[in-house]
Amino acid sequence: MSVVHLNGEYLPADEARISVNDRGFLFGDGVYEVTPAYHGRIFRWGQHLARMRKGLKTVGIDFDAASLEGVNRELLARNGLETVPVACVYVQVTRGIAPRTHAFPDPPVPPSVYGFAKRFDRPAREVWERGFRAITVPDQRWALAEVKAIALLPNCLAQQAAVEAGVRDAIFVRDGIALEGSHNNLFAVFGGVVTTAPLTNYILHGVTRDLMIGLAGEMGLPVEERAIPLRELYRADEVFFTGTTTEVRPAVEVDGRTIGEGKVGAVARGLYDAFLAVTGS
């Protein structure tokens, strides 16, 4: 039985209870963060903390997110995940419990904090080497996609479309521009140039995205942050996704169109190997 964190307590998951008046339940009024741990080492906590702090400030939830580092460590320990190769800790903060009305509670109520940890199993290398497939979907999300809001219905619909199409990923397209995946950032390679969407309010400011840009630079690969029209994405030499629970995932087909030579490219493979080395996993 997994152990979860709920408002300062650690208890078995089936004993955790959240009020039906919690604004996270009623409105999706909250933000979350997913942080990886490699052999018990929380990875890039400072960046995950900064992103959650920014999200909380943007939506106006008053909560000291610094306390979540201890929650992350305690959840790993209580669930026996300190020695596994890869684990992930999910923590969300909602605006709290209050009668249902659209405006914020006045006076404010204490936020609700929930978290859990689980093992992450990456695909076997032979599966990874075959590459994956993706489809595109219209981007129907709100205009603050850089906030990791718990209201993820458009993302869920996009990923379900991928499941029904028998592929691994869905790519959001807005005004003809390929932005990012339903739960990960999008990269493409054109003539050796590693390309990804610029940091705007329409994409998640990914921690793994930032790492990939840095690793590409260390490998001597030019990086360009610019809009990627969908018609151009189809002609890319390589396409791959990055994220905490994606790591580096190459796509060899998008919308039934073969990407490059239809096999995992050298750039994605090199970045994945560099990623494994950096994380020690």
Which parts of 73-168 are beta strand (E)?
Answer: 86-94, 112-119, 132-138
Is residue 148 flagged as an active site residue?
A: yes
Q: How many residues does the chain have?
A: 281
Q: What is the DSSP string of 201-219?
A: TTS---HHHHHHHHHHHHT
Secondary structure, 3-state, 27-84: HCCEEEEEEEEECCEECCHHHHHHHHHHHHHHHCCCCCHHHHHHHHHHHHHHCCCCCC
Tell me the C-alpha distance between 98 and 214, whole Å: 44
Q: Which of 54, 118, 148, 263 is catalytic?
A: 148
Q: List C-alpha distances in Å: 145 to 11, 70, 73, 124, 246.
A: 32, 27, 28, 31, 18
Q: For residue 239, what are the contacts with CB-CB under 8 A and spacing of at least 6?
A: 134, 186, 187, 188, 189, 233, 250, 251, 252, 254, 259
Which residues belong to the active site? Answer: 148
